Amino acid sequence: MTDPFSIWVYLSATPLLWLALTLVAWIAADAIARACGRHPLANPVLIAIAAMGAVLLATGTPYQTYFEGAQFVHFLLGPATVAIAVPLVRHLALVRANILPMLAALLAGAVTAVVSVVAVAAALGVPREILVSLAPKSVTAGIAMAISENLGGRPALTAVLVIATGVMGAVIVTPLMNALKIKDYAARGFAVGLTSHGIGTARAFAVDEIAGTFAGIAMGLNGVATSLVVPVLLQWL
């Protein structure tokens, strides 16, 4: 065990190693984001993903080996999503007052998110399999991958596109909303939750609780809306 490589081989076979490294990567990424004043470009999700990706590449570790250790974090996504109901109940009166605007924004946003990317990709001659993989990019990974698989897309590609969409939305939402002079946190949150699912919702909560609440609502509603809209729009397009 005096050989460092032998020590690494031993540790890498231990599932808890990858859980520990994932938590360390997140804590370090969040510390960097805090030090940068929560600047949109210092997105902790992006930083943590890049750090863990670099470790996996450098060590030649298969994703399956990594996931065996880090799956507890994956499990916690469920309780974390359900916990969004807490601020929702806290701001229930505000949510009720905005039901009609939310439904209108949901319809417009769900359709636009699908049509925009599919129309541009189709115009560039992208194969149908890739179009299907692109279509559900604005909903949370579990739903997006299921939609993609059922319609003949590539779930793995869809997962990558979902993460890229979420990170991009979380990075640009604050400067974009400021540039558009949109000051209503309910509107800002709903927009980023609808287009950038969980990663955008996390960013919204970091900025304001009301924004996070409406982002969580948009994330959930868009998951349902997109699963209904994508098959119809793909057939029509």
pLDDT greater than 60 at residue 167: yes
Whether residue 10 has pLDDT greater than 70: no
pLDDT digits (tens, 9 = 90+) for 197-221: 888 898 898 889 999 999 999 999 9
pLDDT reported for residue 26: 92
User: Do 52 and 94 fall into the same domain?
Assistant: no
Q: Same domain, yes or no, for 16 and 93? A: no
53 is in which domain, residue-wise? 4-80
Domain boundary among 80, 102, 129: 80
Co-location of 127 and 70 in the same domain: no
Angle (CA) 37 141 143, round 5°: 135
Q: How confident is the model at residue 4 (pLDDT cuts 50, 70, 90)?
A: low
Which band of pLDDT confidence, cut at 50, 70 and 90, is reported for residue 12? low
- pTM of the entire predicted model: 0.80
Looking at the structure, tell me whether residues 104 and 30 fall in a common domain: no
Domain match, 163 and 224 both: yes
Residues 24 and 95 in one domain: no
- Asked whether residue 111 falls in the same domain as residue 226, the answer is yes
Is a pLDDT exceeding 80 seen at residue 13?
A: no
CA distance 14 to 135: 38
Residues 222 and 148 in one domain: yes
222 and 120 housed in the same domain: yes
Together in a domain, 123 and 174:
yes
Number of domains in the chain: 2
Q: Per this entry, what is the length of the chain?
A: 237
Name every residue whose Cβ is closer than 8 Å to that of residue 55 and which is 6 or more positions away in sequence. 21, 25, 61
